Amino acid sequence: MAVERSDAPSRALTTTRFSDLRPSLSDPVLETLTLGGFRFCTPVQAATIPLLCGHKDVAVDAATGSGKTLAFVVPFVEILRRCPSPPKSNQVMGMIISPTRELSSQIYNVAEPFFSTMPNMRSMLLVGGVDIKSDIKKIEDEGVNVLVGTPGKLHDIMERLDVLDFRNFEILILDEADRLLDMGFQKQITSVISRLPKLRRTGLFSATQTEAVEELSRAGLRNPVRVEVRTETKAVGDVGNSQDLASSRTPLGLHIEYMVCEAPNKSSQLVDFLLKNTSMKIIVYFMTCACVDYWGIILPQLNMLKGSSIISLHGKMKQSAREKALASFTALSSGILLCTDVAARGLDIPGVDWIVQYDPPQDPNVFIHRVGRTARIGRQGSAIVFLLPKEDAYVEFLRLRRVPLKERQCLDNAEDIVPQIRAAAKEDRDVMEKGLKAFVSYIRAYKEHQCSYIFRWKELEIGKLAMGYGLLQIPSMPER
């Protein structure tokens, strides 16, 4: 496999204009880029677009927030625009697969203006949460040539619809390939690929390269060119010379901190942080849906946070509720989004100032994708992760993975919010039950940490944790 590395790691944009790329982009695509405010390429775009347009398969390894979506949407459309004759209504010419419905929807929204330059091709978004019968009827009635969606839905459609013709298929894009495999979609992806002709272009995009991604690359790509785009950042910690530069897996404008605090104080430290950043747009990550539900009703009831815009988002919410929550937070100039990892990958929410990881993720690879919601395309952004004292080895673990962090001290004068939480639980049984459910879900999720030598669930201090949750009693659990 040939390897191409970007020579412009320290800049969000290169000096290469889209109009300078060779093979040349078509006028309608260049006009669409200009209308969208895109004149200069990011490093991943400058490296990838000419390769795909030049009939090469690519395996792209790029930091999150690097402009990957346009890096595949532009060549995807260019390749389809070259088709010598308009496709028939049931001929599928291209497909973009991504792991979540939110990310697929975002990709589709970005791609739509480019798809509109191909009036003879009909595109369709296929994701969960929509009745498959209505999707099938729409395809049968109107036809489809370009599919964008999640692997489960795409696989189901291909299983049920014999009418779709893939013989002239041109290009397949697999976005967030590592996450596609982490979420257990390998079987569906393998099945989808098996139905496509081997003589096609394929692009595989991922922020982390794992053995499973390498295996998928070998199975689905033909003599691919590996594109690696790295950012640079000042080294932190014990390095004496502040001018030293280290290769980093995080965007250049991102500043990451960690705070070590005892479990009973963790919720108070979170609220103190939110209070000091009321003018900011903040995403707070929790480990489980039940935790999001609990803190989503607790935080707005606290005296000091009344009037703050606090929105919850997690994978167990109905699709319509998820879309509404995402749209509401996107429209805010300042506010707080409480969420699980459903929002960690790929989503481009504008203007996010801070990423708060109240709970570190079970999968350490997800850490990169969480913090990647800020400092996108050269902007500045900050992130902080809360750690218990016995979890402090996580800092060195991340540094070894080229993720530099600086310490923020736990404040002694943060107001204790636990009495307010307990008062709310005494008044409202729903609050009390949600607290118990969140606590149990957290303990059970903690057991599933992939870094189990750092996050040792048997060493959790259950009483102290329960205090931080403001529980009136400790629930009985088999884990104890």
- The percentage of the chain sitting over the pLDDT mark of 70, rounded to a whole number, equals 92
Q: Which amino acid is at 243?
A: Q
- Contact (CB, 8 A) for 359 and 286: yes
Instruction: State mean pLDDT over 41-50.
Output: 94
The CATH number assigned to the domain with range 254-469 reads 3.40.50.300
> What is the rounded CA–CA span in Å between residue 24 and residue 39?
14
Instruction: State mean pLDDT over 400-408.
Output: 89
- The percentage of the chain sitting over the pLDDT mark of 90, rounded to a whole number, equals 70
Of 66 and 279, the structure prediction assigns the larger pLDDT to 279
Identify the three-state secondary structure at position 21: coil
The CATH number assigned to the domain with range 18-229 reads 3.40.50.300
Parallel, antiparallel or unpaired: strands 254-260 and 245-248: unpaired
- Per domain, the residue ranges of the chain are 18-229, 254-469
Q: Which two tokens stand for residue 309?
A: 């815009």
Instruction: State mean pLDDT over 130-139.
Output: 92
pLDDT at 7 exceeding the cut of 60:
no
pLDDT at 435 exceeding the cut of 90:
yes
Cα atoms found within 13 Å of the Cα of residue 320, Cβ hemisphere only: 2
User: Tens digits of per-residue pLDDT, 436-468?
Assistant: 999 999 999 999 999 998 999 999 999 999 999
> What is the rounded CA–CA span in Å between residue 18 and residue 308?
42
pLDDT at 10 exceeding the cut of 50:
no
**Residues in a beta bridge with 161:** none
pLDDT at 110 exceeding the cut of 60:
yes
pLDDT band at 181 (very low <50, low <70, confident <90, very high): confident
Domains 18-229 and 254-469 share a fold: yes
Q: Report the mean per-residue pLDDT for the chain.
A: 89
Instruction: State mean pLDDT over 183-200.
Output: 92
Instruction: State mean pLDDT over 164-190.
Output: 92
Contacts of 445 (CB under 8 A, 6+ apart): 287, 288, 359, 362
Instruction: State mean pLDDT over 36-49.
Output: 93
Helices 186-194 and 151-160: angle between axes, nearest 10 degrees: 40
pLDDT of residue 247: 53
pLDDT at 44 exceeding the cut of 80:
yes
Write the Ramachandran bin of 182: left for phi over 0, alpha for psi from -120 to 50, otherwise beta. Answer: alpha
Parallel, antiparallel or unpaired: strands 231-234 and 245-248: antiparallel
Contacts of 217 (CB under 8 A, 6+ apart): 1, 59, 177, 204, 224
> What is the rounded CA–CA span in Å between residue 150 and residue 476?
39
- Contact (CB, 8 A) for 33 and 256: no
Look at 3-17, 375-389, 406-420 and tell me which has the smallest mean pLDDT: 3-17
Of 209 and 291, the structure prediction assigns the larger pLDDT to 291
Identify the three-state secondary structure at position 348: coil
pLDDT of residue 240: 32
Q: Which two tokens stand for residue 415?
A: 């107001």
What is the distance between the terminal CA atoms of the chain, rounded to a whole angstrom?
50
pLDDT of residue 344: 56
Q: Which two tokens stand for residue 245?
A: 């530069």
